[in-house]
C-alpha cells in the first residue's frame, strides 16, 4: 500500500526491467525445435558469425548476451547449452527471416507505429505526457543487457509476427464438438496402481569380476583419456585491491564536499508507522463499521496497546502491515496530502487521530521527526570518499592490467614485482583441466577461450571476470592429454560396466513383464516377482502429476483405457512403468459452460500458432533454398563447446 504513497520512480525502474526481460524473451525464443533443416554452410570466414539472413548477421556476442540475460532470470537451465544454443540461433534466424519476408510482402512497422508500441509496452517512459529522454531509456535497457537498437529491432519483429498471427487467426473455425472434446480431454481423471523398473533399480543387483572390468577397459581403451592439464600464473586485478591503494587527500574531500553540498541537504522528514483499513469500493454502511473498528483500535493505543502488534493483526497495507506498520522515512510530496499533513504535524512519539484519505482510515504514529538540514562533512565522509575512489579505480585497473600484461610478455619476475608493488597478489593454479574452477577466476568461458590455444609461456589478453575484476594470465606449463592407464581409471571403468549391465538387466526384465502382461491382469503379482513396490496414485487429470512417475501427460495412453486394464511399458524420466487403471472419472459436463470461452480461445490460439509455425517453417525452407538464410554449423558448435567445456 505504501508504494501508492511513494514516488513512482523506483517502481518504474523495477517494472520496466521486468517488462523488458519478458518482452525480449518472448520475442526471441520458445525453445521448441521445429525447423526441419536450415543447417546450411559449414563455416564462415569470421568464426564469430553464427548465421546470416539476407546478409544480416547473427553473432556469437548476441547469443551470449541473450543467454546471460536469460540465465540471470533463471529462464535457461545451466548444463543444457548443447541443446538450446542451436535452438536460439535457429529461432533468431527465423525471426529475421520472417522480418525479411514481411518486408518483401510490403509489411512494415513505421517509426511512428514503433513509438506507439513502445509507449504501450513501457508507458513509464512518458511522464506527464513527455518522453523522459534517450539517456534514461538507454540506462533502463542497459540494466537488462540491451541497447536501444536491439530492443527496438525486437519490438519491430514482434509486431510483424503479431500481424501474421492475427492473419492466421482469421478464418479459424472451432466447433462446439471441438470445445466439448477439449473439455473432456482436460478434465477426465484416472487413478492408477503402478510399479516401475529402471537401470538404477537393478544397479545393486549387478555383480562384476576383475576379469570383466579388465575386458571392459580393453574394449573401450581408446575412450579413456587423461585430459590435458595446464598451469597458470594469474594476476587478478580487482576493484577492492586497487581501491585500497587509492588515498583521497582531505583537501580533495573538502573541495568535493563544497562543490556538491546541495546533494547532502536532507529535507524535513518523519519516520512513521501507520495502521490502514481500506474503504475503497465500500458502501456507506461498511465505511461506518470500518470507522468504528478504527476508533476502537485508537482507544486501545491510547491505553498503551502495542502499535506494531495491532498493525500486524489489522492493517490492510500489504507493504507495511507485516512490518508492524513501519513506513520508513517520508519526505514531503511522497504521500497523499491528508496523510502528509497529519504525519508532519506530529511530534516524535506522538499518535494521530483517525486520518481519512482516498485509501481509507489511518492511525499514524511518528517515531522520529527531523527538520531540513545540511549533513556535515564528517557524516558523509565515508560515502564521499568511496565515490571519489570509485571514479579513479576503473581507470587505474585498466592501466595497471595493461602494464602487467606488457611486462609479463617480457619477464615473469618483473611482472610479479610490478603487481606486488601495486597491491596485487599473483596466483598460481597448477594442473587445471579445462572447465574446472580456477582460484581467482572461478569458471569462466572467457578465460577458457583465451587460454585454449596458448603455448607454454603464452600470455592472455586482459579478461574481464564478473563486474569488478580484470585478469591477465600466463601459461606456465602444459601436460598433454594421453591414454589413461587401467589403474588410473579403474573405478570409472567399473562404474561404466555396472551401468551397462544394469541397463541390459532392466531391459530384459521390462521385456519379460511386457510378455507376462499378455496372460495376466494381476499387477501386484508381477511387481512382487521382480521385487518392485506397488503404489497407487491420486485421481489426476492430464495436467496433474503422479509422485514418482512425473507429469500425468506422460501416461496419456492410460487415459484411453478402461478400469481394470493394464498399461505399459511406459517410459518416463523416472523409469519404465507398468500400470493398472483402478478408477476413472469422466469430465463433469455441467462445468463446460463456465469453461467454454477460455477453451474456445485456447483452441483458436493453438491452431493459429500451428499455422504461424507452418508459415514460418515454409519461409525458412524457401529462403534456405534461395541461399538467403545461412547457418554456420561449425561456428555454432564452437560456441556450444565454449560453454560445455
Tell me the pairing of strands 482-483 and 225-226.
Answer: antiparallel
372 neighbors 266 (Cβ within 8 angstroms): yes
d(CA 328, CA 319): 11
CA distance 492 to 610: 46
Whole-number pLDDT of residue 45:
64
- Burial tier of 132 (Cβ tally within 10 Å: 0-12, 13-18, 19+): middle
361 by DSSP, 3-state: which? strand
In CATH terms, is domain 268-371 a member of 3.50.50.60? no
- Give per-residue pLDDT as tens, 33-53: 333 344 444 455 677 888 888
89-98, 140-149, 300-309: range with lowest mean pLDDT: 140-149
CA–CA distance, 150 with 157 (Å, rounded to integer): 11
Output the pLDDT for position 579. Answer: 94
Label residue 365 by pLDDT band (50, 70, 90): very high
pLDDT tens-digit profile of 516-531? Answer: 998 888 999 999 999 9
pLDDT band at 569 (very low <50, low <70, confident <90, very high): very high
Question: 229-246+379-480 with 268-371: one CATH topology?
Answer: yes
Tell me the mean pLDDT in the region 273-290.
93
Q: How far are the Cα atoms of 41, 179, 552, 562 from residue 586, in angstroms, in the given order?
A: 53, 16, 16, 11
Q: What are phi and psi for residue 72, nearest 5 degrees?
A: -60, -35
Local confidence band at 2 (pLDDT 50, 70, 90 cut-offs):
very low
Q: May I ask the CATH architecture of the domain 2-170+607-644?
A: Orthogonal Bundle (1.10)
Please determine, for residue 168, whether its predicted confidence score (pLDDT) is greater than 80. Answer: no
In three-state secondary structure terms, 59 is strand
d(CA 499, CA 486): 18
Q: Are the C-beta atoms of 473 and 447 separated by less than 8 Å?
A: yes
The band of 70, judged by pLDDT with boundaries at 50, 70 and 90, is confident
List the domain boundaries for the chain: 2-170+607-644, 189-223+487-585, 229-246+379-480, 268-371
Q: 189-223+487-585 has which fold? A: Chitinase A; domain 3 (3.10.50)
Region of residue 459 (left: phi > 0; alpha: psi -120 to 50; beta: else): beta
- Beta-sheet strand order (sheet of 463-465): 427-433, 229-238, 469-479, 463-465
State pTM to two decimals. Answer: 0.48
> 137 vs 70, 114, 132, 146, 467, CA distance in Å?
21, 15, 7, 11, 22
How sure is the predictor about 118, in pLDDT bands with cuts at 50, 70 and 90?
confident
Cis status of the peptide bond prior to 569, with omega within 30 of 0: yes
> What CATH class does 229-246+379-480 carry?
alpha beta
> Taking residues 384-407, what's their average pLDDT?
85
Three-state DSSP class for 117?
helix
Amino acid at each position: 500500500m505504501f508504494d501508492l504513497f511513494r514516488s513512482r520512480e523506483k517502481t518504474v525502474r523495477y517494472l520496466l526491467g521486468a517488462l523488458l526481460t519478458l518482452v525480449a524473451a518472448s520475442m526471441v525464443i520458445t525453445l521448441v525445435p521445429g525447423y526441419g533443416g536450415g543447417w546450411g554452410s559449414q563455416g564462415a570466414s569470421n568464426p564469430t558469425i553464427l548465421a546470416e539472413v539476407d546478409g544480416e548477421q547473427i553473432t556469437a556476442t548476441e547469443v551470449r548476451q541473450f543467454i546471460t540475460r536469460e540465465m540471470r532470470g533463471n529462464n535457461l537451465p545451466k548444463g543444457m547449452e548443447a541443446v538450446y544454443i542451436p535452438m536460439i540461433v535457429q529461432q533468431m534466424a527465423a525471426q529475421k527471416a520472417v522480418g525479411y519476408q514481411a518486408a518483401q510482402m510490403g509489411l512494415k512497422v513505421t517509426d511512428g507505429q514503433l513509438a506507439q508500441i513502445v509507449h504501450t509496452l513501457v508507458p513509464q517512459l512518458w511522464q506527464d505526457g513527455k518522453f523522459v529522454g534517450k539517456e534514461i531509456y538507454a540506462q533502463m535497457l542497459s540494466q537488462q543487457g540491451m541497447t536501444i537498437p536491439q530492443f527496438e529491432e525486437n519490438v519491430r519483429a514482434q509486431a510483424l509476427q503479431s500481424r501474421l498471427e492475427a492473419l492466421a487467426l482469421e478464418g479459424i473455425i472451432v466447433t462446439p464438438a471441438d470445445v466439448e472434446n477439449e473439455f473432456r480431454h482436460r478434465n477426465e481423471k484416472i487413478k492408477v496402481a503402478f510399479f516401475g523398473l529402471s537401470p538404477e533399480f537393478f544397479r545393486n543387483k549387478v555383480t562384476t569380476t576383475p576379469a570383466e572390468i579388465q575386458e571392459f577397459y580393453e574394449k573401450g581403451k581408446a575412450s579413456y583419456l587423461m585430459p590435458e592439464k595446464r598451469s597458470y600464473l594469474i594476476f587478478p586485478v580487482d576493484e577492492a585491491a586497487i581501491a585500497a591503494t587509492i588515498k583521497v587527500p582531505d583537501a580533495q574531500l573538502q573541495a568535493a564536499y563544497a562543490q556538491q553540498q546541495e546533494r547532502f541537504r536532507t529535507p524535513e522528514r518523519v519516520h512513521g508507522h501507520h495502521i490502514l483499513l481500506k474503504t475503497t469500493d465500500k458502501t456507506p454502511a461498511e465505511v461506518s463499521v470500518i470507522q468504528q473498528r478504527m476508533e476502537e483500535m485508537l482507544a486501545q493505543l491510547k491505553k498503551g496497546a502495542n502499535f506494531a502488534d495491532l498493525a500486524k493483526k489489522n492493517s490492510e497495507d500489504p507493504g507495511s502491515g507485516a512490518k508492524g506498520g513501519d513506513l520508513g522515512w517520508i519526505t514531503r510530496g511522497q504521500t497523499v496530502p491528508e496523510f502528509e499533513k497529519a504525519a508532519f504535524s506530529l511530534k516524535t512519539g506522538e499518535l494521530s487521530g483517525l486520518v481519512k484519505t482516498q485509501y481509507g482510515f489511518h492511525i499514524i504514529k511518528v517515531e522520529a521527526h527531523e527538520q531540513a538540514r545540511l549533513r556535515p562533512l564528517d557524516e558523509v565522509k565515508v560515502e564521499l570518499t568511496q565515490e571519489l575512489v570509485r571514479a579513479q579505480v576503473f581507470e587505474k585497473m585498466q592501466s595497471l592490467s595493461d602494464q602487467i600484461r606488457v611486462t609479463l610478455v617480457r619477464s615473469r619476475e618483473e611482472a610479479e614485482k610490478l603487481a606486488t608493488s601495486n597491491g596485487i597478489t599473483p596466483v598460481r593454479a597448477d594442473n587445471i583441466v579445462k572447465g574446472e574452477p580456477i582460484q581467482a577466476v572461478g569458471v569462466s568461458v572467457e578465460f577458457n577461450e583465451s587460454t585454449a590455444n596458448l603455448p607454454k609461456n603464452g600470455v592472455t589478453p586482459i579478461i574481464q571476470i564478473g563486474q569488478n575484476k580484470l585478469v591477465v594470465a600466463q601459461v606456465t606449463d602444459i601436460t598433454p592429454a594421453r591414454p589413461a592407464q587401467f589403474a588410473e581409471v579403474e573405478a570409472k571403468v567399473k562404474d561404466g560396466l555396472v551401468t551397462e549391465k544394469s541397463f541390459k538387466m532392466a531391459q530384459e526384465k521390462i521385456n519379460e513383464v511386457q510378455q507376462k502382461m499378455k496372460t495376466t491382469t494381476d499387477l501386484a503379482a508381477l511387481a512382487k516377482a521382480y521385487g518392485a513396490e506397488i503404489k497407487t496414485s491420486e485421481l489426476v487429470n492430464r495436467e496433474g502429476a503422479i509422485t514418482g512417475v512425473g507429469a500425468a501427460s506422460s501416461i496419456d495412453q492410460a487415459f484411453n483405457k478402461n478400469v481394470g486394464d493394464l498399461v505399459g511399458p511406459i517410459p518416463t524420466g523416472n523409469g519404465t512403468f507398468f500400470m493398472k487403471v483402478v478408477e476413472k472419472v469422466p469430465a463433469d459436463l455441467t462445468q463446460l459452460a463456465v469453461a467454454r470461452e477460455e477453451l474456445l480461445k485456447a483452441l483458436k490460439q493453438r491452431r493459429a500458432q500451428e499455422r504461424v509455425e507452418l508459415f514460418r517453417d515454409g519461409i525458412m525452407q524457401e529462403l534456405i533454398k534461395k541461399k538467403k538464410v545461412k547457418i554456420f554449423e561449425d561456428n555454432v558448435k564452437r560456441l556450444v563447446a565454449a560453454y560445455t567445456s
